[in-house]
Amino acid sequence: MEIVTTAAAMQRISEAARCAGRRVGCVPTMGALHAGHLSLLARCRADTELVIMTLFVNPMQFDRPDDLARYPRVLEQDATLAQQAGVDVIYAPSIDTMYPPEFATHVTVEGLTTRWEGAARTGHFRGVATVCTKLFTACRPHRAYFGQKDYQQTLVVRRLVADLDLGLDIVVLPTVREADGLALSSRNVHLSPEERREAAVLSQALSAAAASVRAGERQAERIRSGLEARIRTAPLARIEYAAVCDAETLEPLSTLDDRAIALVAARFGVTRLIDNAFLQADPV
């Protein structure tokens, strides 16, 4: 496994693989790898001949300096896990390499970024779109792999790739969860034992919402209010949003259709968690 730190070096490796007819896959990460990341790497390894994992804690997508400072950084551990997962190249640029003093270009995806995470985290998706554009330019992958937990992000990245003709496929894999349903996240390490126990309420609320749809509920507001009520049973949860939306546009629904998704975000102490679940309604 090789670790490279400049876009020029990464481009040379990727171009050589492409010229040799090898398919290039990329798994963008901010490190602090867990089983969710490893599932993406495993799929990338199965699909492609050159597996690139990017490792960059992107300051541009953090709306709070304290959140950026707390984000776990364990490069040596991440490198060991990446090698065990069959990664060929880690692309790990420095902040100064990615954003030198003269840096003046940003990428904005409109529409999809105005609600939910976009409203809660000022500038977040501009940071995501900018860093993904730079990572894809450096890595030149045929495919890039993301997890469903960051569902709104996956839609934004797909829109970015389509609009800028970047020429790669975005593959989204199911959220990997703990035994009690909590979605794996690098931020989970900041939960206290009590917060960790209560955080499972997010997936429980989503499961209850899906069950209500299977039982015949079609009114989005009833489903949404049920989500909120279930989350509020956890005393430490501070809800930021609970929404039932169109799964393509993320616009709130009044009546469920077959493209619905439930989105939730809540804080447990200083830790902010998000989760989601598709709500498959049978045609009425």
Catalytic residues: 37
Query: What gap in Å lies between CA 106 and CA 183, rounded to an integer?
Result: 30
DSSP for 109-141, written as a single string: --STTSSTHHHHSTTHHHHHHHHHHHHHHHH--
Query: What gap in Å lies between CA 257 and CA 248, rounded to an integer?
Result: 12
DSSP for 14-76, written as a single string: HHHHHHTT--EEEEEE-S---HHHHHHHHHHHHH-SEEEEEE---GGG-S-HHHHHHS---HH
Instruction: Please report, in angstroms and rounded to a whole number, the separation of the first and last CA atoms in the chain.
Output: 53
